Amino acid sequence: MSPVDTTHAIKLIPASQFTIEQLAAIYNQTRVDYMVPMPMNAARLGEYVATYDVKLEHSLVATTQDGEMLGVAMLGLRKDRAWITRLGVLPNTRRGGIGKALLEGLIEQAVHVSINFHMLEVIKNNVPAHQLFLKFGFREVGELLILRRSPLTSPQDPVVADAQRLDRADSLVLVGHDRGTQPWTNQSESLRNANEVSGLRLTLADGSRGWLVYQRQKFLLTRFAFKTEAGDPSTVAYALLSHLHHQYPRLDTQIENIQVNDPHLPALYEMGYIESFRRIEMWHGTPPPSLNSTTKAG
């Protein structure tokens, strides 16, 4: 039996009217049957909101007229750009217009604050969501990889190099320049908002040099940003990773949204990283001139 169209009965309420615990609960309920569920508790969702500049007053919860929650969608806002994220609908109410209403509502919220350019990522092969975004005029602009490396991977001796550890301040200066257009999760603002950000900089004997900025969480290394300043990117990245994993041999590693054409990617595979899944990056509207300069200059 086809789901009943519930569009006429939907209320869209600002997410700021709910507690973070309520938002985490409804988000998890919408993802129970996803190919990659990615559950979140209240603390993780709160960190997500802060790191990615999600504005709860412009994010939305869909409810019935009686207040029963049906779905949720969140909106990140930065200069001249908006990010649509965490859009989900309860499984038994899908195909009833709720996702469409949430997406339309977020776009309206962005336009209300004079932002007409929107970014998002959708898990590859999530056909219903992908088709919804295409219907709204979003277009594919790239493919993104999510990679993991287990601490049980055979350890590698660090490549001989002149290596220097970087503190948070120096690391954030580096990620604010010359990295080109990045997915929302990897933009300089995301790293500035994150805790425990550090970096490595090294020069090899042949003059090749580059840097890696990362976040160290309690049990995890994440949020990698590479830059090769001279030499072969794969060689420089391998050297950087050899020093990083020698320094933190017991930590798991996850890299979100590395672009499939990133020249450092071969080094990650050589270092034992494996692909977990892929996302499709999509844009709606005309990219503002500040998009590239913002992610370059922070």
Same fold flag, 7-116 and 147-297: yes
For residue 11, the 8-state DSSP code is E
Element (H, E) at 211: strand 209-216
Is the pTM here over 0.85, yes or no? yes
Report helix, strand or coil for 224. strand
Q: Which of 238, 146, 234 is nearest to 186 (CA)?
A: 146
Burial 38-57 (b: 16+ CB within 10 A, else e): eebeeeebbebbebbbbbbe
Could you state, in order of their start, the residue ranges of all structural domains in the chain? 7-116, 147-297
Strand partners, 72: 61, 88
Strand-pairing partners, residue 253, are 149, 221
Q: Which fold has domain 7-116?
A: Aminopeptidase (3.40.630)
pLDDT tens string for the chain (298 positions)? 334 445 458 999 999 999 999 999 999 999 988 878 788 999 999 999 999 999 999 999 999 988 899 999 999 999 999 999 999 999 888 878 999 999 999 999 999 999 999 999 999 999 999 999 999 999 999 999 999 999 987 777 899 999 999 999 999 999 988 788 899 999 999 999 999 999 999 999 999 999 999 999 999 999 999 999 999 999 999 999 999 999 999 999 999 999 999 999 999 999 999 999 999 999 999 988 767 644 443 3
Name residue, tokens 């200066």: 173
* Beta-bridge partners for 198: 214
Distance CA 193, CA 108 (A): 26
How confident is the model over 129-142, as pLDDT tens digits?
999 999 999 999 99
Which three-class secondary structure state does DSSP give residue 61? strand
Q: What angle do CA 123, 127, 133 make, to 5 degrees?
A: 80
User: Domain 147-297 falls in which CATH fold?
Assistant: Aminopeptidase (3.40.630)
Using DSSP's 3-state secondary structure scheme, residue 89 falls into strand
In angstroms, what CA-CA distances link 230 with 166, 207, 224, 241, 242?
A: 19, 7, 19, 17, 18
